[in-house]
Structure 1
Amino acid sequence: MELYGYPLKAKFNQPRPPPPKVLPATSTMSASYKNRLPCNPESYSMPWMPNSYYKAAALNPTLSPLSESFPGLPPTKIVPFISERPDGAFSRHTLDDWHRSNMTNYKESETTRHNAERLRADLNRAIKDVYQQAKRSQGESTQNLGERVNDIEYWKSELCIELDAMIRETNSLADMQKRLERALADTEGPFQVAQKCLLNREKRMGIDLVSDDVEKQLIQEIKIIRSCRERLQQCLDTVNAQLMCNKEARQELEKDLADKQLGHHIDNKCYQMKNTSRGLHFFKGVERIDATVSVPETWARFTDNNIFRSQSARAASAKLRASTESLLMGTADEMWRQFSKVNDAFTSRITETANANSKIQTHLAK
């Protein structure tokens, strides 16, 4: 179509449809074409000329047949008729060009579809690989968590057993401490009595102020009681120190047991977690966080050292209890024997003094 009175030829082409937003279908070939019309680059370079309508309307309309005379226009600006143009002036492309354009579109469609299918296959394969890798990693993590839970349960049971034994031993040693304190307090009376006996015997008059066996036994009793008190006090100090050591070992066991219980709760919860569990969230960069302070070897060694320390403290405590029991029995027996000797000496001296007094009374009566 040409507009009369305009030097250029107007071309009207339909706008090119937008490209598809999804992958082309693989069932038909025509659905994947880029355009239903062959690509014509010249159509984009031609201007859109709305002024042609105004120029065409500016001419004087007439009902007479078209003629070669145009009043009002110079001969140099008269547009030639279609019949005067050379043959093929309106041809833009040949039929071969049209076929080649179609073949190009076919090949591009085939290539695009092939690339899309290959990309889709690669994506499916990548999804399967990632899923298998994630499933394998999850299985390994679950197995490791199960082993970790078993290890924590083992060490937790060992800590509980040792903690119970330490509590019993500490209570027994505390009872021994109370016995020592009572024994030490019980020696205060005999010690004061022996000292007062010596002080009262100093009040004897004249020839009766003699250094007899009673005085020797009283002095020996004071020495024995003082020695027993010193040994009991030293043993009491040792027991107090051992109680502090037992208390420290017990606190370490309790702290380690509390940590084991917390770790067992966390790891057991993680072990029972599934993909369908509630409250699952992804924390970006959590795999790069390493807040650990130990490795499995040092972790197990730490608990083993705590148990060994507690066992050593229990052994020392049991040995100390045995020695304390022996000391209590020995000091009690030693002081009792000396007490008997003092009483025997007093009895003998009292009898001797009574006999002398009786003889003096007899002589006074003569």
Structure 2
Amino acid sequence: MVTEPLRFPNLVTGFDRNPDHAARTALYTRYTPYEWTQNIISHFNEADTSRNYSERHRNDAMRVIRETEEKTASGQRESGRRLGERLTDTTFWRNELATELERLLGETNLLQDKRRDLEKAIQDIEGPMHIAKECLYQRENRIGIDLVHDQAEQALLKEVDTFRNCQERLRSLHERALAQLRNNRAAQHDLERDVKSKESALGIDSVCHQLNNFSRGINYFGGIEKYDPTVTTPESWAENSNRIIQRSQNERSKSQQLRSDADNLICACANEMWNAWNSSNNALSSRSSETLEAKCKLQMHLHRVQQEIFDVEKNIELLRKAIQDKSNPLKVAQTRLETRAHRRDVELCRDGPQARLMMEVQDLSNSIEVLHRKLQEAEAHHQHLLKTQSNLETNLQVKANSLFIDREKCLGIRHGFPMNVQSRF
């Protein structure tokens, strides 16, 4: 590569072809030494000023850099601290909510068990109620005078009323238990939703708390600081969780009270039904004893009446025989009178034999008449005794039927209470 030689301009003539004109022009365009010196000084001053300004600017820039770095670091530390505090607060409330949720779930399970106990108790009442109704139905088969509204029937009716009343009270409490379970599930839903929200917030705040200047995934989101999606304040946020927990605690308290009420009601109903059951059994036993005693007395009277009938029948036979035995003496006396009536003339005398025969006939007639009257009375008594015997036998059948109903059909199915109260409660 060939380079051309440097060419310096002609300071005297310049580029003008006329030498004289060039010399004069050069003379008038020269600077004075003072101007040159002032120019140098001005350059020095300008350089100092520029350097001083630049130094101050650098110092200010370094101060601003340090301040911004400190402010940035402080801001990050403060944000990190606030995020840590927020994590602590959220964790606290999350734990409180989770603990309350666990307690509520346990209480709900216990209430579910108690609800099943109530349903079981309501169903178990059907057995003894059916037995009591069956006893009332069987006792309708009593006959005649034994169809009495006695203490046993009153006890059975009261027993049925007791069973129905217990069922109604248990059903009412069962409805309350179902309503309380719905309230528990509503409170559980609020707790679960708040716990999920807290866990989600913990995950987000944990990620934010772990972010630093060297984390991956950080990026610019212009204008995000102007967007405010918040819907609560720290006070309302804490109050919301506290309100949810308090609601759950209130529902748990109501549920516990309801379980206690259910236990007390089941025990009270069991005792009432047991007492009514025993009262009916005692009344049936007492009535059976009365019926058995009446039956025994009827049998005794029947035996006496039968013996009396036998004696009356013997007496009737004796009366008939006595009447029959009087016929021949009467015939003899009347035959004597009729034969003596054939005497002649003065021989028809009212003598001693005539008077005695007439008296004998009269006595025999009176005796026969008395015997006939006694025979009629004996036969009337015999008929009355036969009727009494029939009534006694009928009443014995009635008593036997009533005794069979009360002892065999009623007490026979009431030996054991069909609800195992001791094992349940």
TM-score in terms of structure 1 length: 0.72
Closer/same/farther in 2, CA of residues 184 and 144 from structure 1, 3 Å limit: same
Aligned to 1:185: 123
Cα distance in 2, alignment partners of residues 173 and 86 from structure 1: 122
Q: Does 1:300 pair with 2:238? A: yes
2:59 counterpart letter in structure 1:
A
SS in 2 for 1:89: helix
Aligned to 1:82: 19
Cα distance in 1, alignment partners of residues 204 and 66 from structure 2: 31
Summarize deviations over 1:127-173 as a string: whole Å, max 9, x none.
22211111111111111111111111221221222112111111111
**Range with bigger deviation, 113-122 or 265-274:** 113-122
Cα distance in 2, alignment partners of residues 236 and 89 from structure 1: 125
Q: Does 1:338 pair with 2:287? A: no
Summarize deviations over 1:70-90 as a string: whole Å, max 9, x none.
xxxxxxxxx9x535x596234
**Range with bigger deviation, 108-117 or 283-292:** 108-117
Q: Does 1:250 pair with 2:188? A: yes
SS in 1 for 2:24: coil
1:94 counterpart letter in structure 2:
Y
Write the mapping of 1:70-109 to structure 2, written as runs, cut at 5 A. Answer: 82-83=19-20, 85=21, 88-91=24-27, 92-96=29-33, 100-109=38-47
Aligned to 2:70: 132
Cα distance in 2, alignment partners of residues 305 and 86 from structure 1: 103
Q: Which has the higher contact order (CA 8 A, sep 6+)?
A: 2
Q: CA deviation at 1:110?
A: 3.9
Cα distance in 1, alignment partners of residues 189 and 249 from structure 2: 14
Aligned to 2:154: 216
Cα distance in 2, alignment partners of residues 206 and 301 from structure 1: 78
Cα distance in 1, alignment partners of residues 283 and 239 from structure 2: 65
Cα distance in 2, alignment partners of residues 143 and 222 from structure 1: 72
Cα distance in 1, alignment partners of residues 26 and 99 from structure 2: 105
SS in 1 for 2:289: helix
Cα distance in 2, alignment partners of residues 180 and 323 from structure 1: 11
Aligned to 1:25: none
Gaps of 5+ in 2: 1-7, 10-14, 307-425
Q: CA deviation at 1:106?
A: 4.4
Cα distance in 1, alignment partners of residues 30 and 52 from structure 2: 30
Summarize deviations over 1:97-131 as a string: whole Å, max 9, x none.
55555555444444444433333333222222211
Residue identity (%) = 37
Greater gyration radius: 2
Cα distance in 1, alignment partners of residues 191 and 106 from structure 2: 14
SS in 1 for 2:25: coil
What is the Cα-based RMSD across aligned positions, in Å? 2.6
Write the mapping of 1:1-366 to structure 2, written as runs, cut at 5 A. Answer: 82-83=19-20, 85=21, 88-91=24-27, 92-96=29-33, 100-365=38-303, 366=306
Cα distance in 1, alignment partners of residues 19 and 195 from structure 2: 106
Q: How many residues align?
A: 291
1:89 counterpart letter in structure 2:
T
Q: CA deviation at 1:285?
A: 1.6
1:282 counterpart letter in structure 2:
Y
**Range with bigger deviation, 218-227 or 193-202:** 193-202
Cα distance in 2, alignment partners of residues 87 and 363 from structure 1: 188
Q: CA deviation at 1:268?
A: 2.1
